[in-house]
Amino acid sequence: MKYQKLGNTDIDISVVALGTWGLGGGSVWSDRDSTAEEAARLLDACRDHGINYIDTAPVYGTGVSEELLGRALKGRRQDFVLQTKCSLNWRGEGGNFHYSRDGYTVNNDTRATAVKKDVEDSLRRMGTDYLDAVIVHYVCKSFPVDETVSALEDLIREGKIRTYGLSNSQPADLDEYKQSSSRVSDGVSVVQEFFSILSPFHGRDYFKTARKYNTVFQTYGVLEEGFLTSPEFMERRFAKTDIRSRLPWLEEERQAGLRRAFAIWEPLCKAHDCSFANLVEAWALTQYDRMSLLVGMRKPSNVADTAKCLDIHLSPEEIRLMEEAVAAIQVEVLDK
C-alpha cells in the first residue's frame, strides 16, 4: 500500500480508501444488507492490505453504515483513519429539504448547531470519542461559510475532530472555506468529489484549486457503481429506488459504447494482468498527484482486487487509448 498526508496535517492515509455507502443498504443499495460480522471481515481485509482510511456518512442507510462500522471497529479504532460527514440529517430541525427516502426526510443544514449535533450523533453511533476527519456532505449557500467553519474549528479545539473537508462542492467553495479558516487549523484537508473516466470534467476543473492548497482530492464513483467492472455488469437490473437504476449506463446507446470500450481495454488488462476495475482505478491515479481513491468495497475479495491497482503503471499512450475509447459516451454532469 502507498500512503500520503491528509492535506497539510500529520495524518497518514492509504491512497486507497474504503467507501461504505453500500454498507448502509436500504432502498439505495437494494441487492443486499450487510451485517456487523461482514463489516468486521471487511476491516480485517483492509488491515491485511494496508488500507487504513475509512469513509462513511450519517445518511448511509440513515445511521446503519456508521453503526455497523462502530461495532466492527471495537478494539481497533486506532488502526484506522475514520472519516464521516456532516450537514445531511433527518432530525427535523430545519435546513433545506434534500430528499425523502425509506420513511425519512433528510435536510441539508450547515448551521453551527446542526454541524455540532451531526458530529455528536456520529460519535455516539460509532462508539468513539473522536473522528479523524469530518466532511461537509453538501456545500450549502443558504448559511454563512464562516459559521460552518467556526463550528468545525470549535470541534477541533474540543478534540472531537482532527480536520475537515468538503464534498459535492466547487473550486470556489474551497477558496471560500480556506479563506474562512483560522490558525486553529489549516482549513480544508480533502475534497471528496465525483470523478470517473466516463465523467472526468468536474474533477479536472477542480485539480488546479486543490493543488494550490495541497488538498487531497478524494474521488468517488471511479467504478461507476460497478458499471466499469465488467461487460457482464450491464446485464444486471435494479429496483427503481436503487442508485444504479438512475445511471445513464443502462441506456442502449451508451451500453453499446461501453462494450466497445471494454473490447479496446481488454488487451491492456491482459498486458498488466489485471481486472477492468484495476485498469480504470489505475487510470484515475494518474490524473492528480494527491489522489485518494475511494472505492465502495463490500467483500474481502473486493479489497484484495482493488489493492492491485497500485502496481499498474500506465504509459501515456495507454492512458490516451483508454480515454479515446469512451470519449463518445462521456457525460458532463451525473446526479447521484
Per the CB < 8 A criterion, the answer to whether 330 and 21 are in contact is: no
H or E segment to which residue 261 belongs: helix 252-272
Looking at beta carbons, which pairs linking 299-303 to residues 24 or more positions away fall under 8 Å? Answer: 299/42, 300/41, 300/42, 300/44, 300/45, 303/18, 303/42, 303/45, 303/46, 303/48, 303/49, 303/51
pLDDT for residue 183: 64
Cβ-in-10-Å burial (0-12, 13-18, 19+) of 254 comes to: buried
Structural domain boundaries in the chain = 3-329
Report the chain (336 residues): mean pLDDT per 10 consecutive residues.
97 98 86 87 97 98 96 97 98 96 96 98 98 97 96 97 97 96 82 97 97 97 95 91 89 94 98 97 98 95 95 98 97 74
**CATH number belonging to domain 3-329:** 3.20.20.100
Give the per-residue pLDDT at 184.
Answer: 67
220 labelled catalytic: no
**44: burial class by Cβ within 10 Å (0-12, 13-18, 19+)?**
middle
Core vs surface per residue 287-315: b (16+ CB within 10 A) or e: bbebbbbbbbbbebebbebbbbbbebebe
**What pLDDT, on a 0 to 100 scale, did the predictor assign at position 298?**
87
Q: Which of 60, 164, 213, 220 is catalytic?
A: 60
